[in-house]
Every structure is written in structure tokens, then in C-alpha cells.
Amino acid sequence: MSFLKAAVRAGLVVLSALAPGSTPAYPAEPSPQASTASADFVRVSPRDPRYLELSDGTPYIPIGLNLIAPPDNQGLPGLEAWMDQLQANGGNYIRVWLSNPFFDVEHARCGVYDEAKAKRIEAMLAIAARHGIRVKLCLEHFRHLGDGRQAWAAKPLHLIANGGTAADIGDFFNGTASREQFKKKLAWFARRFGDNPTVFGWELWNEINAVQGGDYLGWTEIMLPELHRLFPRNLAMQSLGSYDGEYARAPYRRLAAMPGNDVAQVHRYLDLGAKLEVCRGPMDLLAADAVRELLSQRPGRPVLLAESGAVEPSHSGPFKLYNQDTNGVLLHDVLFAPFFAGAAGPGHIWHWDSYVARQNLWWHFGRFAQAVKDLDPPAEHFQPDLLPHSRLRVYVLKGRRTVLLWCREAQNTWQRELAEGQAPAPVQGLVLDLGPLKLGKASARLYDPWENRWTTAALEGDRLPLPEFKRSLVARLTLEQEKP
């Protein structure tokens, strides 16, 4: 989505206290390589390429969110406070924009890199390593070179008139000089931050199809192999804007299967100004649909809902009903729906500051972490499915030894709970008919993510009675014998 003004202010306000080239006013941090964090890298699992694992074979489910830059006036201590909250609730992943003013090493002149900003990046990675958090590093986000309407999206230093290499934005992506200069920038990052297991992966651009001109996908096809050459042990990827209309289908299809794009990422928001009807409905449906859309293209790689949340019409600001969502019902659906639709992890919310931190919703990450505790998705070879029910949307992940069900109460929607102020009604006396899943004998445990409570359940043949709950419930079935 567009880089929200609040996030831009966060970077600019912090920088206003520093003279150009001065050292940041926070304690020096050790090098990330000196950390006691795991030395294993995140990779696509060779056991099932739809999922992720560490290089020692340990399964890895990226539980976290976008934390693009520190909060206003707080610098890295503020960012670390957020990481403290995430770690305490089972989180292990964040996304950072290296092009945010707080971290942007190339802010004065094209090809000139600020050492003080580089040290900030080193310190941020060291903090993440201490917290057991992997970081997706997004390299760029600008959309024009000074001739567009969004001031936060401009980077005029790349113009020839300003000492850069490009005559215009088209020349930035298509011109030989600009392409070679960007490769030099990647090489600089590789020398400073290469071979670092704290790095989840390198992302070339935030929503590159929002750039106003140039063959950005052709440029991506050139730069992804360069990332793999320079960072052979890290993932490489690219991102596109919110999948909210038919216009997005073709570029998403091309990128999802592009060689070198290790993770098929999708961005999608609840947006009442979106052209696709699904983007105006229940949050779980729009999130799951985005994942299924990419899975249907059979990319042969993990799929992640890498940005999500809710916005005012046509991305004109954060959703006003965030103020009413003190229980985090939107965040809950962003987390659970993608994974249970077949993604390699939960969805990653965007509004980290104006929603998650403001409403103190960090506990939701812990509830998702509980639901997937000790799970090995690559070993299970999960197949996503849906189980019919009159009152619930039952999302199914059917594995070799484990079957997971996420039961989302269909009558409880953001419209009812947030817009109309109707409290969720208790769901009572429901039974799931598991017959269509052909499971055989199994034992069952039930998890209520709203109460953080596990209970055992007695199967009655193919029938699974559910206890009383509100909004949603998770069922975890263990099969008595492995299914082929």
C-alpha cells in the first residue's frame, strides 16, 4: 500500500535531530554476526517447496508483521520495544524498509552511502538477532523522480541533473547506466550485510507496479539473479501492490512464477474503494482468496500474504474502524486465514503503529503461535480444503499425520462487530461432520484463540462436537496412522 504519512513522519522526525553525517544518539550495538542467534538461514523447504524451513531442516513459520521504521522520536530503542512485544508473543519475523529515511543509506547523492545509516541497519539486525527475529529487508519504495504527486515517493537524486544516472523513471529501469548503478548498490549491501542468517531475505522493491513508468518487471528479471549471486544463502523476492482489481492479475501471474522469485508474495487490503468485491467483504475471505489466487497459479514456491490490513477507500488512510477494533478481530483474521488457506505463514499486517501498537494487540501473534506450536508443515504436505457447514466457514489443512481446522463464525463480521457495534454472540451446540475428509481414526484437541485455552474433544465417529466459543475455534486432529 502507499507509505502512510505517519510512517514517513516517523523517519523524518527522528532524522531532524541529527546533523548530516552525524552518529545516531543511541548506544552502539554489536555486529549481527557476533550475536548468539541461530546461524541457520531461512530457505524454501526441499521437503515441500510450498513451505519454509531453516537450513538445518527445522520448520520455520514466519510469524510477525511489517515494522517499517521506528516510532516517532524513539529511534532504535522504540523499534526494540516493539520487537520485545513480538518476541514475547512467539513472533520471529519482521519486514523493514531500508529506503525509509531512518535507514536510507543513499539519501544525499546517487551512489554515495551514509556510514551512520549503515550502522543503524547493523544495530537493527543485531537487535533482531538477539530477539530471534528474522528480517525481510526491502531495498526501495520510491515511485517517481520528483514529478509525481506523492512527495514521500520521490527520489530525484537519481536524475542526471542531480548527479544520478537516469533521464527519467523509464530510463532508471531500462537504461544500462542505471541498471549497473543499482547492481553496484546491491554489491555494497552484500559487502556490509551479506551472509547474515538474521536476514529473512532481500526484497527488491515495495509494490514496484506503483512506479510511474519503465519496464519494472523486466528490470526485476535482471535483478533477482543478481540478488542470488550476491546473497546466495538468503531468499530473494519482489512485491506488487494491493491485489484489488482485475488489472493486477497479469503482473501477479508473471511475478509469481518468475525465476529467482523465491516467495510468491501478495498484498491485499480491506478497501471499500476496491474494484474487486471480495476486498469489501469479510477479512478472512479476502485474505484467503488472495492466497488461493496465487496457489492456483502453481508457482512451486511458498505463498505469503505479505501486506494486509484495512484502509479508507482507495488507500486514503488507515481504516477509521481500527479505533473500534480494541479486540483485534481484523488482525486475528489476517493472521489465521492465509495459513489455513495454504500459505507458508500467517498474514503480515501493515498498520503496525496506528493499529497493532496503539491497540496493544501483540497477544494475537501469541495465539497464532499457540495454534501452530510444534507443527512441521513440510513434513505434513498439507492440502488446503473447505468443509461445508451452515454457520461456520471451516478452513481445512489436511496433512499426513495432522489435520487442522479453523472454524470462523460466519455471522460475526467486521461490519457487525465494528461498524454496527454488535458483540459476538456465543456459538453453542455445533457439530462438525468430518465424513467428507475421510480421516479414519483420530484424536482431537481444540484451541480457543480468544481464551487461550486448549481442551480435548471426543470424536463420535465422523462427528466432532464443538464447545461454546465466540468468533473462531481451532481443531487439531492427530491421525492414528499415516495417510498416503
Mean pLDDT of all residues in 369-380: 98
Q: What is the pLDDT of residue 2?
A: 39
Q: How many CB atoms lie within 10 A of CB 366?
A: 18
Quick check: 15 pLDDT over 80? Answer: no
Kindly report the average pLDDT of the chain as a whole number. 92
CA 465 – CA 458 distance, rounded (Å)? 8
Q: Are 356 and 365 in contact (CB under 8 A)?
A: no
**pLDDT confidence of 203, banded at 50, 70, 90?**
very high
State what percent of residues in the chain have pLDDT above 70. Answer: 92
Helix, strand or coil, per DSSP, at residue 340: helix
Name the nearest CA neighbour of 156 among 175, 169, 140: 169
179-184: which pairs have CB atoms within 8 A and are 24 or more residues apart? Answer: 179/219, 179/222, 181/110, 181/111, 182/223, 183/223, 183/226, 184/111
Beta bridge partners of 427: 469
Cα 466 vs. chain centroid, distance in angstroms?
Answer: 31
Q: What is the pLDDT of residue 322?
A: 98
**pLDDT confidence of 148, banded at 50, 70, 90?**
confident
Mean pLDDT of all residues in 364-385: 98
**DSSP track, 291-302:** HHHHHHT--SS-
CA 363 – CA 180 distance, rounded (Å)? 45
Q: What is the pLDDT of residue 22?
A: 30
Mean pLDDT of all residues in 164-186: 97
**pLDDT confidence of 26, banded at 50, 70, 90?**
very low
* Superfamily per CATH, domain 5-375: Glycosidases (3.20.20.80)
Q: Are 87 and 133 in contact (CB under 8 A)?
A: yes
pLDDT tens string 281-305:
999 999 999 999 999 999 999 999 9
CA 232 – CA 162 distance, rounded (Å)? 34
Measure the CA angle with vertex 343, ends 342 and 346; round to 5°. Answer: 120
CA 206 – CA 222 distance, rounded (Å)? 17
Q: What is the pLDDT of residue 37?
A: 58
Q: Left, alpha or beta for 342 (phi > 0: left; psi -120 to 50: alpha)?
A: left
Quick check: 33 pLDDT over 70? Answer: no
Q: Are 464 and 455 in contact (CB under 8 A)?
A: no
Cell numbers of 17, please?
A: 535531530
Cell numbers of 53, please?
A: 524451513
Q: How many CB atoms lie within 10 A of CB 468?
A: 11
Q: Which residues of 199-221 are buried (b: 16+ CB within 10 A; e: fewer)?
A: bbbbbbbbbbbbbebbebbebbb
Q: How many CB atoms lie within 10 A of CB 161?
A: 10
Measure the CA angle with vertex 242, ends 237 and 246; round to 5°. Answer: 110
Provide CB contacts within 8 A for 193, sequence distance 6+.
32, 121, 122, 125, 137, 199
The sign of the dihedral angle between the CA atoms of 348, 383, 237, 250 is: negative
What's the CATH code, domain 384-479? 2.60.40.1180
**pLDDT confidence of 72, banded at 50, 70, 90?**
confident
CA 5 – CA 17 distance, rounded (Å)? 19
Q: What is the pLDDT of residue 482?
A: 53
Q: Are 39 and 68 in contact (CB under 8 A)?
A: no
Determine phi and psi for 280, rounding to 5 degrees. Answer: -110, 0
Question: Which residues make up the CATH 2.60.40.1180 domain(s) of the chain?
Answer: 384-479
Helix, strand or coil, per DSSP, at residue 119: helix
Question: Which residues make up the CATH 3.20.20.80 domain(s) of the chain?
Answer: 5-375
CA 175 – CA 156 distance, rounded (Å)? 16
Name the nearest CA neighbour of 53 among 236, 235, 295: 235
Beta bridge partners of 408: 393, 472
pLDDT tens string 182-197:
999 999 999 999 999 9
Q: Are 346 and 371 in contact (CB under 8 A)?
A: no
**pLDDT confidence of 11, banded at 50, 70, 90?**
very low
Cell numbers of 193, please?
A: 550485510
Name the nearest CA neighbour of 464 among 476, 481, 448, 450: 476
